[in-house]
């Protein structure tokens, strides 16, 4: 299978209104900013369900798709610094399913592993558990959570090869590896694309078997959501 595509515009071909997308990243760290930008240029693609830790900021990341009203539902763990996300959620314009962060990661991992559901103690006794099956194990209560899969999983890696093998850098790894396994079609954008054999097999985080399309981006902004400096 030829996996290399020219750019983000080619990579997102096939994404249609009403689909479910997984998008890697945490805050603005490790987000697939090129693919998100390409989707923002397709305002006719609407009613998307987006699974992501949060929704970027008002003018960057998934905030662009919120601004253009392309997202119908967010499955996230954090509203964050995005005022438009907050406004749409509180006004009822946007359906939001808030999920504990570790649970969200495990829901994606389970989906990629073919595990339909799992029990977790996170959220028991809160709104998170409402309407869900609960069970006691060893004297502790657990909540049954369903796994997540997506029509497309879109991730951002540091390096990749033309076979789709990926290496993520430091904290930009975050949700990307688990989401890469849980998409029917997985798109990877990378900062550097190399030939097979140039990556150390011991350093590969996502094997190429999970990746269907890959391209090399350039001029990544890599914005910092909350810049903190020492005195």
Q: Would you write out the chain's pLDDT as a tens digit for each of its 231 residues?
A: 899 999 999 999 999 999 999 999 998 999 999 999 999 999 999 999 999 999 888 889 999 999 999 999 999 998 877 889 989 999 999 999 999 999 999 999 999 999 999 999 999 999 999 999 999 999 999 999 999 999 999 999 999 999 999 999 999 999 999 999 999 999 999 999 999 999 999 999 999 999 999 999 999 988 887 788 888
The first and second tokens of residue 154, run together, are 């879109």
Token pair listed for 196: 């097979």
Cβ 127 vs Cβ 154: under 8 Å: no
Return the half-sphere exposure (C-beta side, CA atoms, 13 A cut-off) of residue 191.
Answer: 13
Cα–Cα distance for residue pair 103/21, rounded to 1 Å: 18
SS3 118: strand
140 domain-assigned: no
**Domain presence at residue 34:** yes
Say how many domains are in the chain: 1
Domain assignment of residue 141, yes or no = no
Environment class of residue 107 by beta-carbon count within 10 Å: exposed (0-12), middle (13-18) or buried (19+)? buried
Q: Which domain does 94 fall in, by range?
A: 8-116+147-216
Q: Report the CATH number that the domain containing residue 61 is assigned in CATH.
A: 3.40.1080.10
């Amino acid at each position: 299978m030829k996996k290399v595509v020219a750019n983000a515009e080619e990579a997102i071909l096939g994404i249609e209104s009403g689909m479910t997308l997984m998008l890697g990243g945490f805050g603005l760290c490790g987000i697939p900013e090129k693919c998100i930008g390409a989707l923002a240029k397709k305002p006719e693609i609407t009613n998307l369900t987006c699974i992501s830790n949060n929704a970027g900021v008002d003018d960057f990341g998934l905030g662009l798709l919120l601004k253009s009203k392309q997202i119908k539902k967010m499955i996230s763990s954090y509203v964050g610094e995005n005022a438009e996300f907050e406004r749409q959620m509180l006004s009822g314009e946007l359906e939001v399913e808030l999920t504990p962060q570790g649970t969200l990661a495990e829901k994606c991992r389970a989906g990629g592993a073919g595990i339909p559901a799992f029990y977790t103690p996170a959220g028991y006794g809160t709104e998170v558990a409402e309407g869900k099956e609960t069970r006691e194990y060893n004297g502790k209560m657990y909540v049954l959570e369903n796994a997540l899969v997506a029509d497309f999983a879109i991730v951002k890696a540091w390096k990749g090869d033309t076979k789709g093998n990926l290496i993520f850098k430091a904290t930009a790894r975050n949700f990307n590896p688990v989401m890469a396994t849980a998409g029917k079609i997985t798109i990877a954008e990378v900062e550097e694309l190399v030939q097979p054999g140039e990556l150390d097999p011991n350093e590969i985080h996502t094997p190429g078997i999970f990746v269907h399309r890959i391209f090399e981006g350039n001029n990544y902004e890599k914005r910092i959501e909350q810049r903190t400096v020492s005195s």
